[in-house]
Amino acid sequence: MGWSFKVHGGIALALSVLFLLSAVLAWMPWSSPSAGMTWPLAAGLSLPVALAAVGRVLLTRADKKTLWLAFRCLPGRLQAVLGVLAVAGVLMAVIGASQENNLQTDGVKDGRSYVYDTTPLHRGRVEVSSSAYADVLRREQRSLLPAFGAVLAGVAYAVFTAAEVRQADARSKRTHAT
């Protein structure tokens, strides 16, 4: 496996762990939500890594079966880490999303905190206290950040399997050339 694949997959794994840990911290009552990761930042960090991974997989021209077989060639510990991160991210996202939450953060302007109420018949921007705003921010982090963590575990899977396919293709060309 080439070093660029290792670096790319490592970045995806590190971001996955970062997002999952940020979501775990959002469940802790003593943690400050402003110190945690927000979903726009998570999306900004995830998008380039994910797009590059999609490009790498497309360049291999491998089908789903080949990618699965390549995944099976990865070390067992790496397979386990990828699986645990993906499952943990999905479970945490489902649990976070199952909490009833009709409020979304809308920002802080001039020292005032605003949320957007999505309750039917009450839609609109509402000013709330800073503690209520922090609670809404925590709820958002609980449901959105684990989803990014699960997606980035999938991105790491794609990068590492693309590396295995590329490595197998290189071995095949060497054996056919001799």
79 is a domain residue: yes
* Phi and psi torsions of 38, nearest 5°: -100, 160
55 is a domain residue: yes
113 is a domain residue: no
84 is a domain residue: yes
pLDDT higher than threshold 80 for residue 89: yes
Q: How many domains does the chain have?
A: 1
Domain containing 62 equals 3-100+142-177
Provide mean pLDDT across the span 121-133: 82
Provide mean pLDDT across the span 6-11: 93
Q: What is the pLDDT of residue 8?
A: 93
Give me 97's structure tokens: 């999303």
Tens-place pLDDT, residues 38-85: 777 888 889 999 999 999 999 888 888 988 888 898 999 999 999 999
CB atoms within 10 A of CB 146: 28
CA-CA distance, 138 to 51, in Å (whole number)?
28
77 is a domain residue: yes
CB atoms within 10 A of CB 38: 17
34 is a domain residue: yes
Tens-place pLDDT, residues 105-124: 777 888 888 888 887 777 78
Please tell me the pTM assigned to this model.
0.81
Q: What is the pLDDT of residue 22?
A: 85
110 is a domain residue: no
Place of tokens 């575990």: 153
CA-CA distance, 46 to 30, in Å (whole number)?
27
150 is a domain residue: yes
